[in-house]
Amino acid sequence: MIKSLNNNTVLEAFAQEGGVEYYRIPGVGNYSWVEELKGVAGTWYPMGGRDHSFRQWWFPNTQESVFEAGAPVMCVYDYENKNIITAALSDSVKRTKISASVDDLNQRDEILLKIEIIDDGLFQQPDHEIILRVDKRPLEYYEAVAEACDWMRSFLKKLIPIPEDARVPLYSSWYNFHQEPEQKLLTEELKVAAEMGFRTVILDDGWQFEGKNTGDYYKCGDWHVALDKFPDFKKFVDDVHSFGMKLMVWFPVPFAGFATEDYRRFKDKMAFDIDWMRAGVYDVRYKELRDYIAGTYEKFVDDFGIDGLKLDFVDAWGTTTDVPPKNDEMDHERLFDAVRTLMDEIYDKMTARDPDFLFEFRQVYVGPEIVNHCNMLRVADCAADSVTNRIGIGSLRIVNGATAIHSDMLLWGKKESPVNCMRQMLNIMFSVPQISVLLTKVPGDQKLAVKRFVDYWSENRDVLLDGKFRAVDPGANYSLMSAEKDGKKITVLYSTSEVELTACAEDVWNNTFKNYIVVSCAPGKDYAVFDWRGDKIGCGVTAGTIQKIAVPAGGMVKFG
């Protein structure tokens, strides 16, 4: 029984199908219900990261969702990784909260679930009803969440296509150059990257202002190429294209830095300032500002022939709800209605030029509505933190498997061992790999590891990106991930050494701290062992029992 906490109204399911119930949510307010407390191991939600705890009622794990952040879905799962209950909302635009906790008041032994629909002043009230979907089927937790997210996407008017260029290894200038990219060195880097199998490049922050790294967004705006960094930007673009690569360029959509002419020109039309970033945030309720932003991108694309945009900081508009009231020059009452309009306008203008134009977003803007304005979705910044990268990939794959999920850019030191480089890469196996390492400067064995990984990933891309995806044991930060398609399966072991083989051909990678894996399978299956270089170092035949096979870290066993 779902009850409104505002007026005690009881909501009845208007439809049921195979263990899934649907409820109409009347509007702004709080709603709750309880389920039997039995077998609960943890909670899963899109922005949970490493936290899968099941908390008490007074500080529950909560998934807050709005257009620019999060997605309205939460799962409570059991010790076998099976779904106990998954709740999802049809509206990924309005600000909502879904929480799950243990209700231990008055000796109650129940799971307490709450839904909150909030009027935060950012969006108009929806002209459609919000529907709550409650799934109690004992599916694998990731299947229950993925089906809920597919259901949420069904409310979109159309789904944007994902071009092939969104699904190829990508080189980024961010961690290796930060705000000081330089044409000659970057061109040399990209020539090497292309030879190693990278097919897309993102030119990140710093190209637009002269001088050193500021560490903030003080000089973001105006959008003139810095001549001290790129003396001939059109030649740079042409060189990138000559390497067989696509070029994307970074723009922080909301920002005009305090040092820019943009800020001085539009100061009275800023929604608010973010002092620690030293930048203002455009109030895009002014059509003039939306036209300016989209027009800036149009001109840049037309002048230089770039192939895509990395649109950053869309979530910054949600930093505060304290914005000026509407005036007669504005064509929207609420700010985020105007943000949605802007994102529509940018997408339409760019794809009118090239239907395969590339757009990269990143966590935290991961909900179905906003993600339907991009074709590449990246894990948020986690330089050199491969476990966080893996967790982000797992979350994004489960929620947004319909788009191209990218890792955060890989980074490691010049003295890192090639095995540890391979281990970082194995953590991003089930995403499109991004890298931000100076390939012209690293030792040869590191380059060999990168080439080995990129070659393997590219050869098996369709299995890795399009196969049936499993992310096992979220409480252990996904101890095992796998993908299976057309009789081929690829598994990476992270914090478990044990794997049960299926009938299909299977590659099992060892990314644990042990120098072996433990397999169970039928007898008579041929296998070969390879080290991180791809050199064959052993072979055998399975005995049909639980069997230990020596496999070095970063190595692989190929079965069948």
Inter-residue contact 185 to 236 (CB < 8 Å): no
CA distances from 471 to 36, 108, 305, 396 (A): 26, 33, 39, 11
Note the pLDDT of residue 189.
97
Note the pLDDT of residue 24.
94
CATH (residue range 168-466): 3.20.20.70
Q: For the whole model, what pTM was predicted? A: 0.96
The residue to which tokens 């794997």 are assigned: 499
The residue to which tokens 């943009």 are assigned: 262
Q: Which two tokens stand for residue 494?
A: 């992270």
The Cα–Cα gap between 53 and 125 comes to: 33
The Cα–Cα gap between 54 and 514 comes to: 30
Q: Which two tokens stand for residue 206?
A: 């710093």
Note the pLDDT of residue 9.
85
Inter-residue contact 415 to 149 (CB < 8 Å): no
Residue 33: which H helix or E strand, with range? strand 29-36
Note the pLDDT of residue 370.
95
What are the two backbone dihedrals, phi and then psi, of residue 290, each rounded to the nearest 5 degrees?
Answer: -60, -45
Q: Where, residue-wise, is CATH 3.20.20.70 in the chain?
A: 168-466
Note the pLDDT of residue 126.
66
The residue to which tokens 């009845």 are assigned: 12
Note the pLDDT of residue 328.
97
Inter-residue contact 71 to 149 (CB < 8 Å): yes
Nearest to 299 by CA among 370, 365, 358, 249: 249
DSSP per residue, 133-160? EEE----BHHHHHHHHHHHHHTTSS---
Q: What angle do CA 248, 250, 251 make, to 5 degrees?
A: 130
Tens of each residue's pLDDT in the chain, 560 residues: 788 877 788 999 999 998 999 999 988 899 999 999 999 999 999 999 999 999 999 999 999 999 999 999 999 999 999 999 999 999 999 999 999 999 888 667 899 999 999 987 777 766 778 999 999 999 999 999 999 999 999 999 899 999 999 999 999 999 999 999 999 999 999 999 999 999 999 999 999 999 999 999 999 999 999 999 999 999 999 999 999 999 999 999 999 999 999 999 999 999 999 999 999 999 999 999 999 999 999 999 999 999 999 999 999 999 888 999 999 999 999 999 999 999 999 999 999 999 999 999 999 999 999 999 999 999 999 999 999 999 999 999 999 988 999 999 999 999 999 999 999 999 999 999 999 999 999 999 999 999 999 999 999 999 999 999 999 999 999 999 999 999 999 999 999 999 999 878 999 999 999 999 999 988 899 999 999 999 999 999 998 889 999 999 999 999 98
The Cα–Cα gap between 454 and 421 comes to: 12
Q: What angle do CA 410, 384, 179 make, to 5 degrees?
A: 70
Where do runs of H (alpha helix) occur along 305-385? Answer: 335-353, 368-371
181 Cβ partners below 8 Å, 6+ apart?
173, 203, 204, 206, 207, 229, 230
